[in-house]
Amino acid sequence: MTRLTGRALRLTVFVGEHDTWHHKPLYAEIVHRAHAAGLAGASVFRGIEGFGASSLIHTSRLLSLSEDLPVAIVIVDTEERVRAFLPQLDELVTEGLVTLDDCEVIRYTGRDDTPPEPDTDGKNTEGKKAP
């Protein structure tokens, strides 16, 4: 599992929901490549309304315009790892917006498959009552 705390870089990629790469959603290709590159994580967020360089507003409120809602792919990792990933985005993102922001990671923890062992007073190592 990747450990990440302190200074980091947040990469955000804004594309359309129906943008594709070799007949598969572009956002999925970006996430899979980020995973293969060993980045700390990636999340995809679907927008309910937005517009970009074309100035055409896409919204979920009107069925006729809801065909290509905006999506944002957010990746946070060390500056070195994020910058090493940028050439892949140059290949993939032909329309959209790519931004980089400095950020600070306060906490980055994954799900633990095994619950903490209870200590002698019936509480786990986090001080919570064991189930």
The mean pLDDT value for 119-123 works out to 58
Name the nearest CA neighbour of 48 among 79, 26, 72, 20: 72
More confident: 62 or 16 = 16
Q: Is-contact 35 73, C-beta < 8 A?
A: no
Strand arrangement, sheet containing 6-16: 42-46, 70-77, 6-16, 97-105
Give the tens place of pLDDT for each residue, 7-56: 999 999 999 999 999 999 999 999 999 999 999 999 999 988 888 777 77
The mean pLDDT value for 47-75 works out to 77
The mean pLDDT value for 100-114 works out to 83
The pLDDT value given to residue 118: 59
Q: Is-contact 59 76, C-beta < 8 A?
A: no
Give percent above pLDDT 70 in the chain: 77
**What pLDDT band is residue 100 in, cutting at 50, 70 and 90?**
very high
How far apart, in whole angstroms, are the C-alpha atoms of residue 44 and residue 126?
Answer: 31
Q: Per DSSP, what are the bridge partners of residue 11?
A: 75, 100
CA distances for 7 relative to 85, 101, 115, 123, angstroms: 18, 11, 29, 34
Name the nearest CA neighbour of 128 among 114, 119, 108: 119
The pLDDT value given to residue 112: 67
Note if the pTM is more than 0.85: no
Name the nearest CA neighbour of 11 among 81, 112, 62, 66: 81
